[in-house]
Structure 1
């Protein structure tokens, strides 16, 4: 009997240890982990610089309160703000909390309530972020959603132009929809979003929970498109596995988040900030990001060989965030891959999602792609014989 609420469908793998790209289960079986804890362990499992930073902080103090001036928070906030080209940071504990805070910030700053989001988006599971999410399955059974969220088709300029007005507080989007199937926004669409936000004095909120902290070969994915958002949210890869999220915003938003307007008991926890700082010190190096870009291109090229298989319809994504569109339900494929020794993720019903650590080697990429090819080939043969 489990004492946990059954909110997750558990895999048959019980981890015993992990380092880098490799996870070992309690039976000693080795896996290549191309999930990175769902885009969290961007430097792999237990990266030494992060481990050392956490241990050093453990020897000093674990928790204070955000009533204190904490120089390490200030230093981490500056690193984030500089990387995003913005000015101010609020630390939270997760991506959902960061998005929740961004929604509050946009509404308070503008004095308006309507926020436009997009179909197949995913922004979290709190009431506000659930309402913002463009997937009905997330909302089933929870009753009426928080009002004034309007969801329209992604990459649809006509729908956007029709919905935007002076009553719009913000447009909230992912540059690459992760949970929605690894769908990348079109450059023309993003340019129109930015133009209309400026025209109607609406905030542009970019959700970088999954795409941020180097995942696409730049500090943030919006930087591939020349965008200048008002608010950026990030989490997952920021703390290399310790719980931390952040809202990054323009300096003119400071008055909207003054004393008492928002808060978090554990947000900016010293251990999480130490992990985040050590992570950013590695990831935001130009040489490291150049390697991520090169390895992302290598991964895409290696996966392109899969297009010869009948089940594979499309390869899409950016950097180390890749989706393999299949004509079959992805869950059976993922289960077979786990037996072969590869951990991967779904993105919707028919997309196999690869989120390897940014430190993955070409050899590990080749090994993973070979396992995918063998699995899909065997499934195809079995289907023909059946």
Structure 2
């Protein structure tokens, strides 16, 4: 099928939920994707910060093949070794005490909401304006933006919002009913919004002082995206609850909630597919390769190079590691122009978001920079 036929088929059979870019992808290898006409594109957004090892990484493919020949699914009526080994690994690299494996990021946030309410016996959770935490009902209740929320009102009660990067506003909002504060170390969906360097540290100090749990949503920033394994490590803090997903699976659906607060009792939380052996085996491999190949350092190095080169071109740019936002006059038009040059990015409003796989090399960065120059970004 060509693109027109694919678009027609979607209009007939698929839910009208996505504003897709005009590209139909057929296959991927490393840093590149190929459309149905075999045109090659440099992937500079990694499936929204998901494909941390690029496309069809040989170690990931090998793990999928080997594990799928052994065991794919059992439910959580039984013990499975990959699940517990992944939990052990995540506890080790995050510093938190326990892990709960989920299918994706929004489930990780839903888990965090329940943990916060169970631990504190309180209902109120404070989120940030312009935050994005997911589209299921609980996570949506913590997501800012009328276009996400309005069709589904009323949402979960006792959720409220304060200005991001404003500790004083947060302090005024905490009450004796507040269970937790949830924060993204960098706001991704709103356009790569980076707070002041001391913001997370001050939020951590405030929540400890007021005996309120701190939930960090690192679904997008985790696993090397910002030049540290986790973005909270830039601030030298540790949250009570940590939400993870995206880069954890390298393209395979999986998420996790790490926590050092009270645990669930059996039956209080769960899921049929969560923590299945195949997903957990893949995630273990992804994390291992990130560490063995020093891809966190690569994120810091290539991210710094891209930021420096973009600034030298007098662009309005901000970022940390390989999480970069470029302000432009027309975000969608710029992304479409880059597609014509064989470069795939995404946009939030009038910000072009750059989130390449962590395996990016200088030659790929230079290819992107050349395209940026060609379109006069």
Q: TM-score, normalised by structure 2?
A: 0.95
Q: Partner residue of 2:324?
A: 322
Q: Distance in 1 between matches of 2:40 and 2:82?
A: 37
Q: Partner residue of 1:372?
A: 372
Measured after TM superposition, the shift of residue 274 of structure 1 is 1.1
* Cα pair 2:223 2:296 within 8 Å, conserved: no
* Cα pair 2:225 2:358 within 8 Å, conserved: yes
Measured after TM superposition, the shift of residue 285 of structure 1 is 4.0
Measured after TM superposition, the shift of residue 344 of structure 1 is 0.1
Match of 1:277 among 277, 280, 284: 284
Structure 1 residues 284 and 36, CA gap change in structure 2 (3 angstroms):
same
Q: Partner residue of 2:4?
A: none
Q: Distance in 2 between matches of 1:357 and 1:188?
A: 28
Q: Does 1:289 align with 2:290?
A: no
208-217 vs 180-189, which deviates more? Answer: 180-189
Q: Partner residue of 1:382?
A: none
Q: Any gaps of 5 or more consecutive residues in structure 2?
A: 1-7
Task: State how 1:193-208 maps to structure 2 within 5 Å.
Answer: 193-208=203-218
161-170 vs 283-292, which deviates more? Answer: 283-292
366-375 vs 259-268, which deviates more? Answer: 366-375
Measured after TM superposition, the shift of residue 186 of structure 1 is 1.8
Task: State how 1:35-184 maps to structure 2 within 5 Å.
Answer: 35-184=45-194
* Cα pair 1:292 1:320 within 8 Å, conserved: yes
* Cα pair 2:118 2:262 within 8 Å, conserved: no
Q: Distance in 1 between matches of 2:179 and 2:68?
A: 42
Q: Distance in 2 between matches of 1:228 and 1:97?
A: 21
Which secondary structure state, in structure 2, belongs to the residue aligned with residue 369 of structure 1?
A: helix
Measured after TM superposition, the shift of residue 286 of structure 1 is 7.9
* Cα pair 1:83 1:284 within 8 Å, conserved: no
Q: TM-score, normalised by structure 1?
A: 0.92
| Residues 220-253 of structure 1: per-residue CA shift (max 9 Å, x gap) | 1111111110000100111111110100011x42
Q: Any gaps of 5 or more consecutive residues in structure 1?
A: 378-386
Q: Does 1:337 align with 2:338?
A: yes
Which secondary structure state, in structure 2, belongs to the residue aligned with residue 181 of structure 1?
A: coil
Which secondary structure state, in structure 2, belongs to the residue aligned with residue 338 of structure 1?
A: helix
* Cα pair 2:200 2:232 within 8 Å, conserved: no
Q: Distance in 1 between matches of 2:177 and 2:196?
A: 25
Q: Partner residue of 1:244?
A: 254
Give me the CA root mean square deviation. Answer: 1.3
| Residues 62-111 of structure 1: per-residue CA shift (max 9 Å, x gap) | 11111211111111111111111111110110100110110111011100
* Cα pair 1:42 1:357 within 8 Å, conserved: yes
Match of 1:5 among 15, 30, 40: 15
Q: Distance in 2 between matches of 1:319 and 1:366?
A: 16
Measured after TM superposition, the shift of residue 376 of structure 1 is 2.4
Q: Distance in 1 between matches of 2:293 and 2:93?
A: 11
| Residues 177-218 of structure 1: per-residue CA shift (max 9 Å, x gap) | 000110112233222211221122111000000000111121
Q: Distance in 2 between matches of 1:131 and 1:306?
A: 40
* Cα pair 1:169 1:202 within 8 Å, conserved: yes
Which secondary structure state, in structure 1, belongs to the residue aligned with residue 122 of structure 2?
A: coil
Structure 1 residues 139 and 368, CA gap change in structure 2 (3 angstroms):
same
Task: State how 1:261-276 maps to structure 2 within 5 Å.
Answer: 261-276=268-283
